[in-house]
Structure 1
């Protein structure tokens, strides 16, 4: 794979605090939402099942149109990813170096999570815990891995998609949308083909983030932005009324479909509409400090919160504490306590493993890894991730995934320090920030 061309990269702006705040909001909403969904049930015969309490509420279906923030997260990922790629190119970095850094940033914390889950669940199995309970915990705790698969697919394709965007932004986005629609049309006859949209759909949403990064929405008036929000939601409503798609955006999430792109358009325009207000909020010292701290550990929070929630819920079933039925008033009153429990468990995890999100950067004039090593690492990572996304997570896949991720980390090594190279060669490009690089924006 040759480094994508595309002319001189535009000047990269400083940190976009509004995008940082949007990503923080998305992460917080996902964690809160999951505490309202996971509801394990211990039956009289000793079996355990898990109910999606929030998803089963009839009133929640229209609400999730607003609360389904995963499209906004990928829009924000497109903004920050494009900034990162342009900054790296301005320092002479290659597409392989970008992929190397992105892979390391994502798979190092995931490798430790898989290894800890594999060890813990095997220990539980050897101690006599019912295999059904173990499989339920593995499947539920592994839900974040679908996001890892989708986000990796989008980010690793970013350099050449950015080159296409520089040449023909509208045509590139239209081509991706045509692929999304084609997959949606064929998913009835070929159900497994639907998972191709984990690449096409999220790359299209990421491409929308490129448009936001280029400031294309800034020329729209508030009434124009409201018109975009209304039109995208109206089109979404028509598709649902015609029964072409489900009105439940949780159902539409996995595998993803065209409805999520329409949500992304609405959310991107809505973000631009409230940008002045968010900019003032993000500039406040306390808000900026919290967003920065959480942003540096965002992947650790995302990957670990659901396994910790599943483990905590499973252990509570073994106690004599009252277990309210999901959806009852008593159950809803316990949700704040569950959220506090997850946050309390996350704190030591962040202290132990949070630094794994820092991109390991070699000092001096270290050379980047060979292209073959980077490509091999990407393939090694995608084998267990794709398997988990398609077939669910098992204990065996946890162990195999941890081994594959560890091998990929060894193949990738450390990322060369581009600011050191530029200084040694007398380069005039803007320096990269010193490690640790921030997770929410790596300019």
Structure 2
């Protein structure tokens, strides 16, 4: 007799759950999850262990021993895609904050705090490894020292561009796609000035002159080039461009852009294999813009098929899981290289990279990636368990001086860790990031339920 009301109630809950699922656009989530997976596997592929007598003594970077691998970075350098999608997701929230007079700095403090807290945990574990290695004479830390912190640069860049999100939203509202054109013009002007061109014919050697002339004024593009995908992502969210035709046109533009850039002397690789070599990343160059066009074109061209795929419950569930694990996986995936190297040695597996292009090279890459996957799984279980057990709704600080101090401490800690590696960078960097985690939170914390945390207010 009561089955009908129960069924009706169940159906109501299902309808509500379905409407909640449809309310969130899963396509950007899928793009971000895919981008992070590409980065993770790209980092593992790029690390080449070198063994002597069955023991790892050093590592090489793929780009330093195989110049042809530079073309792979046109796919593996997905930071422009991540910035593009993050801007599209955050655009509406930034617009509402501007219209309602809310402080962007407070929102940014919440984002910075959300990155600082897990980074403190990561650096603390690195410090524990450093101390353990000091007392046990651990060999593996040396070859992987800088590899364990190099990926933190992404956090620094992301915090920088997100701090300027309101400016990008305002520029889109005022100028639309002209704001994108303006940034392109600035980026091109910076590279031209950096190249020191004396005549129009020198444009044929623009890349060679730019990357051979040091950083200098080129560091302005550390902001401009990364702001470009943010500006473009906001424009996409506003519907200023879309469709398969536009996507294919942007793909073609990007490929032609990259071909012209390489022909003028810009490096083929869009990531760095070593400091001091000609680079498209330190500082960013116009060549990186070609990667952005390719990736944005792919986003538009694949939108229809991927959205249809996301309508399948299982696919949507996988995207949800990957979205939840994305940033922890990015933060911790490099640590998996330590146990992967240890396992490879103990089991006598052929993880030595050998010579690129030979059969042994591909076999070594396969074993190395499998060991990294096996090693990262328990790390992720431990990390997720820890993060779930700690207080998550931590309210960020509101005072301008303390937010600026916290932001400076966070960026300083990351920079030191990047420059010095796990030893001694993680030790010094931990102090800065831990200080940021303390400064960027409200003291005392409001009573639960009395003040919604910023992360719950806006996407």
- Scaled by the length of structure 2, the TM-score of the pair is 0.78
Aligned to 1:408: 436
Counterpart Cα distance in 2 of 1:385 and 1:195: 18
Aligned to 2:79: 70
| 1:36 and 2:45 are equivalent in the alignment | yes
Aligned to 2:155: 148
Counterpart Cα distance in 1 of 2:389 and 2:404: 22
Which runs of 5 or more residues in structure 1 are unaligned? 1-12, 422-431
Aligned to 2:275: none
Distance 1:394 1:342, change over 3 A: closer
Alpha-carbon deviations, 1:59-109, whole Å to 9, x = none?
A: 533343234322211111111222332354566531122111110121111
Q: Cα distance, 1:273 vs. partner?
A: 1.7
More displaced 10-residue stretch of structure 1: 166-175 or 231-240: 166-175
| 1:241 and 2:263 are equivalent in the alignment | yes
Alpha-carbon deviations, 1:251-301, whole Å to 9, x = none?
A: 434443222222112211221122111111122212222222221232211
Alpha-carbon deviations, 1:166-189, whole Å to 9, x = none?
A: 222444334433443344342544
Is residue 297–residue 354 contact of structure 1 (8 Å, CA) maintained in 2?
A: no
| 1:199 and 2:223 are equivalent in the alignment | yes
Aligned to 1:49: 58
Aligned to 1:381: 410
Counterpart Cα distance in 2 of 1:22 and 1:55: 29
Q: Cα distance, 1:18 vs. partner?
A: 0.7
Is residue 250–residue 293 contact of structure 2 (8 Å, CA) maintained in 1?
A: yes
Counterpart Cα distance in 2 of 1:16 and 1:377: 33
Distance 1:290 1:192, change over 3 A: farther
Distance 1:435 1:175, change over 3 A: closer
Counterpart Cα distance in 2 of 1:337 and 1:46: 18
Q: Cα distance, 1:378 vs. partner?
A: 0.9
Alpha-carbon deviations, 1:190-246, whole Å to 9, x = none?
A: 43654543332212221111111111122x5x3333122212221221121122x11
| 1:352 and 2:373 are equivalent in the alignment | no
Q: How does 1:188-227 map to 2 (within 5 A)?
A: 188-191=212-215, 194-218=218-242, 220=243, 222-227=244-249
| 1:139 and 2:146 are equivalent in the alignment | yes
| Structure with the larger RCO, 1 or 2 (CA within 8 Å, 6+ apart) | 1
Distance 1:437 1:57, change over 3 A: farther
| 1:229 and 2:251 are equivalent in the alignment | yes
Which runs of 5 or more residues in structure 2 are unaligned? 1-21, 195-209, 273-279
Counterpart Cα distance in 2 of 1:162 and 1:97: 17
Q: Cα distance, 1:368 vs. partner?
A: 5.3
Is residue 340–residue 372 contact of structure 2 (8 Å, CA) maintained in 1?
A: no
- Scaled by the length of structure 1, the TM-score of the pair is 0.81
Counterpart Cα distance in 2 of 1:358 and 1:294: 22
Counterpart Cα distance in 1 of 2:270 and 2:447: 42
Distance 1:437 1:336, change over 3 A: farther
Counterpart Cα distance in 2 of 1:200 and 1:353: 37
Q: Give the structure with the higher percent helix.
A: 2
Counterpart Cα distance in 1 of 2:103 and 2:342: 48
Aligned to 2:297: 269
| 1:295 and 2:295 are equivalent in the alignment | no
Aligned to 2:106: 97
Is residue 146–residue 385 contact of structure 1 (8 Å, CA) maintained in 2?
A: yes
Is residue 79–residue 212 contact of structure 1 (8 Å, CA) maintained in 2?
A: yes
Aligned to 1:283: 311
The number of equivalent residue pairs is: 406
Is residue 154–residue 202 contact of structure 1 (8 Å, CA) maintained in 2?
A: yes
Is residue 54–residue 348 contact of structure 2 (8 Å, CA) maintained in 1?
A: no
Distance 1:200 1:92, change over 3 A: same
Q: Cα distance, 1:57 vs. partner?
A: 4.0
> Secondary structure at the residue paired with 1:137?
coil
Counterpart Cα distance in 2 of 1:208 and 1:417: 40
Distance 1:276 1:354, change over 3 A: farther
> Secondary structure at the residue paired with 1:36?
helix
Counterpart Cα distance in 2 of 1:419 and 1:274: 41
Q: Cα distance, 1:44 vs. partner?
A: 5.6
Aligned to 1:398: 426
Counterpart Cα distance in 2 of 1:295 and 1:388: 26
> Secondary structure at the residue paired with 2:267?
coil
Distance 1:287 1:397, change over 3 A: same
Counterpart Cα distance in 1 of 2:264 and 2:108: 41
> Secondary structure at the residue paired with 2:346?
coil
| 1:250 and 2:271 are equivalent in the alignment | yes
Alpha-carbon deviations, 1:360-396, whole Å to 9, x = none?
A: 345xxxx95211111111111112323444x342423
Distance 1:55 1:339, change over 3 A: farther
Counterpart Cα distance in 1 of 2:389 and 2:163: 19
